Structure 1
Amino acid sequence: MTTAIRIENLVKSFGGTPAVRGVSLEVTAGRVLGLLGPNGAGKTTTVRMLATLVRPDGGRAEIHGYDVVRHAPQVRSLIGLTGQYAAVDQDISGWENLYLVGRLLDLPARAARARADEMLERFSLTEAGRRPAGGYSGGMRRRLDIAVSLVGNPKVLFLDEPTTGLDPRSRNELWDEVRALAGSGTTVLLTTQYMEEAEALADSLVVIDRGQVIASGSTEELRRRVGGQVLRVVPEDAARLAEVRGALRAGGIGEAEIDPDAGLVQLPLTDRSAGLTAAVRVLAEAGIPLAGINTHVPTLDEVFLTLTGAPGADASDAGTTGADGADTADTGAPDTDADAAGARTAHEATRSAA
């Protein structure tokens, strides 16, 4: 199978503070990779290096065999990028934004007009297409921003927290679009802090923290890594929690942990059905009345918390320096300024050409 993205020991520091510390990963063409990590983990810096916006300090990265440093123009012809914040030109209409990018990508005028019309319809923006983008709602601007990144039919699309600020309907529409893109052969690298989004879209996941890869695999593989199935036992009398744990140990079920706040005992299971049946038998023989007993599959949020020790969907520290001390592009203004500057530059270049 063709490798669309290959990263080997990628390194980047800002002002002497490491932001990315030897990240390595591969993405097969036509697949969706979810890149997860707490704020400041190095996600956006990694994406910006892949998109040729930031030069790596060490290591190497390739897009369909093209080195992101030595072959930057070829890489740019293959990729699309949607940053954390919409970077469309708000002084012109949605249609003009799309037409502008089409012309910058060397599409003939007629083809650029047709592509602009197509993208407006594809993202349900036709009615608003001739109005200035500055009057769009946040969700509409976000959809336009993503449409702009797809004008050139990229082989590889970078989506950096693309659904931030979107309402549930717009988010679901975007998810459908990502699935369709992957189905048509486009490779997608998705950074997100929404675990539900990662689970819904990603074929595989890579978790990074403090600039390093700390886990990778499918959702199920990561769940197994942190314990897989968990048996939860709630006795009728919370004073008997220790007795429950002792009975499970004596019965060969395993070494359980007591959660006094939740009033339960829990332990990982290697065999869900056998473990549950054996636990019920052992506790019945011990004469311990139960208020409840069940097995629990860890959510992706719980997996994330276990791996990183950080909240998986809490963006409350947005706009501050992250854990690595330098990857502020993950959480605030540097991304916005860079993307907005790029849009203004493109707009001015096209007006000059006209």
Structure 2
Amino acid sequence: MSDILSTQDLTKRFGRVVAVDGVSLAVRRGARFGLLGPNGSGKTTLVRMLLGLVHATSGSIEVLGEPMPRRASSVLPRVGALVEGPAAWGHLSGRANLRLLDAAGPGRARHRRRRVDEALEQVGLGGVDRRPVHAYSLGMRQRLGIAAALLRGPELLLLDEPTNGLDPRGIQEMRALLTSLNEAGTTVVLSSHLLSEVEALCTAVGVMDRGRLALTSEIAALQTPTGRIVVRTPDAAGVVGLLDGRVVGRSGDLVTVTGTDPVALNARLVAAGVPVSGLVEERRTLEQVVLEVTGAGSDRVDGRPEAARQGPGPGAGGPR
């Protein structure tokens, strides 16, 4: 299957800061691809370059088989995007905002009302009234931003933190929407720092770390066995007594033991009269994989600056 977007040695510098550092990435058509990484890892800058919003310092980009940003005028009408939060005219209603956005596209006059209504229905805003967008909740604004991305029936969706501001039910609804769009043929690429979001929705992942692409893989290929088996039993003490040397963890009715053959372990427990209500081979989580391949990237700021520890100098003022 062909790639819907690719980059080669893509680099972006802001002065002496390297925000994206030699990224070579390929996303196949029809994928649900998650771009993961801590805040400041370069995810949003990379997405902005894919859309031609930021020009690369060096390297190349192809989207829908066309070079970007040179062919942006033919590529962008086929791409839906939400980057760094939804933008809108705050004094207008959500429906009026979408009509204006739709009018800006080529050949968009016919059936505009239907397109807008369909996009609002898709994101759960079908019953929205005439109140201005500045009176919307954060979750409603996020839904409106995604509706704007869907207006053109895009081949490719590029979404930066798409569930930001949504409550748990809204996150579940958005996950179902993106899955259904993907099953209908739309390629979905989202960037997020939320591991659970990517693990629940995506089939493949790329991990960014300090501007570099640390890893790309199908998620299923990353979730390899750990060499442990988790046993659920009403007689946890019985499992511990029988397999004492192999037990590595116990929590309530769950006992984790070393081993790679669940069938043989089940047979041994049953033969010894230990009841087993569940037994599963433990696999690595996406969180474990990401922590292994990323460095110390974080938005933590530990300690105190030397000047602060020494106190303000003569004549120094307070905070500004």
**Fold match (TM-score > 0.5):** yes
User: 2:156 matched to 1:156?
Assistant: yes
**1:110-142 C-alpha deviation (Å, 9 max, x unpaired):** 422221122222222232242211111111111
- Map residues 249-288 of structure 1 onto 2, 5 A cutoff: none
Contact 1:84/1:164 (CA < 8 Å) preserved in 2? Answer: no
**Inter-partner Cα distance in structure 2 for 1:279 and 1:190:** 45
User: 2:22 matched to 1:22?
Assistant: yes
Structure 2 match to 1:230: 228
Structure 2 match to 1:79: 79
Q: Structure 1 residues 122 and 295, CA, compared in 2 at 3 Å: closer, same or farther?
A: closer
Structure 1 match to 2:103: 103
User: 2:273 matched to 1:305?
Assistant: no
Contact 1:38/1:193 (CA < 8 Å) preserved in 2? Answer: yes
Structure 1 match to 2:38: 38
For the residue of structure 1 that corresponds to 2:90, the secondary structure is coil
* RMSD over equivalenced CA pairs, Å: 3.5
Tell me the TM-score normalized by structure 2: 0.77
Offset of 1:17 from its aligned partner?
A: 1.4
**Inter-partner Cα distance in structure 1 for 2:216 and 2:262:** 24
Q: Structure 1 residues 111 and 232, CA, compared in 2 at 3 Å: closer, same or farther?
A: closer
- Map residues 195-206 of structure 1 onto 2, 5 A cutoff: 195-206=195-206
Structure 1: unaligned runs, 5 residues or longer: 237-243, 249-255, 285-292, 321-354
Offset of 1:46 from its aligned partner?
A: 0.8
If asked which structure has higher relative contact order (CA below 8 Å, sep 6+), I would say 1
Q: Percent identity?
A: 39
**Inter-partner Cα distance in structure 2 for 1:143 and 1:310:** 33
Contact 2:154/2:186 (CA < 8 Å) preserved in 1? Answer: yes
Offset of 1:193 from its aligned partner?
A: 2.0
Tell me the TM-score normalized by structure 1: 0.70
Which amino acid in 2 is paired with 1:14? F
Match of 2:299 among 317, 320, 345: 317
Q: Structure 1 residues 188 and 265, CA, compared in 2 at 3 Å: closer, same or farther?
A: closer
Which amino acid in 1 is paired with 2:81? L
How many residues are paired up?
A: 287
Structure 2 match to 1:8: 8
**Inter-partner Cα distance in structure 2 for 1:278 and 1:298:** 25
Offset of 1:273 from its aligned partner?
A: 5.1
**Inter-partner Cα distance in structure 1 for 2:266 and 2:108:** 69
Offset of 1:31 from its aligned partner?
A: 1.3
Offset of 1:266 from its aligned partner?
A: 7.8
**Inter-partner Cα distance in structure 2 for 1:57 and 1:174:** 35
**Inter-partner Cα distance in structure 2 for 1:147 and 1:31:** 20
Deviates more, 1:112-121 or 1:135-144: 112-121
- Map residues 97-176 of structure 1 onto 2, 5 A cutoff: 97-176=97-176
Contact 1:81/1:157 (CA < 8 Å) preserved in 2? Answer: yes
Which amino acid in 2 is paired with 1:158? L
For the residue of structure 2 that corresponds to 1:131, the secondary structure is coil
Structure 2: unaligned runs, 5 residues or longer: 238-243, 250-254, 273-278, 302-320
Q: Structure 1 residues 266 and 304, CA, compared in 2 at 3 Å: closer, same or farther?
A: farther
Structure with higher helix content: 1
**Inter-partner Cα distance in structure 1 for 2:289 and 2:139:** 30
Which amino acid in 2 is paired with 1:296? E
For the residue of structure 2 that corresponds to 1:217, the secondary structure is strand
Offset of 1:106 from its aligned partner?
A: 2.8
Q: Structure 1 residues 47 and 308, CA, compared in 2 at 3 Å: closer, same or farther?
A: same
For the residue of structure 1 that corresponds to 2:143, the secondary structure is helix
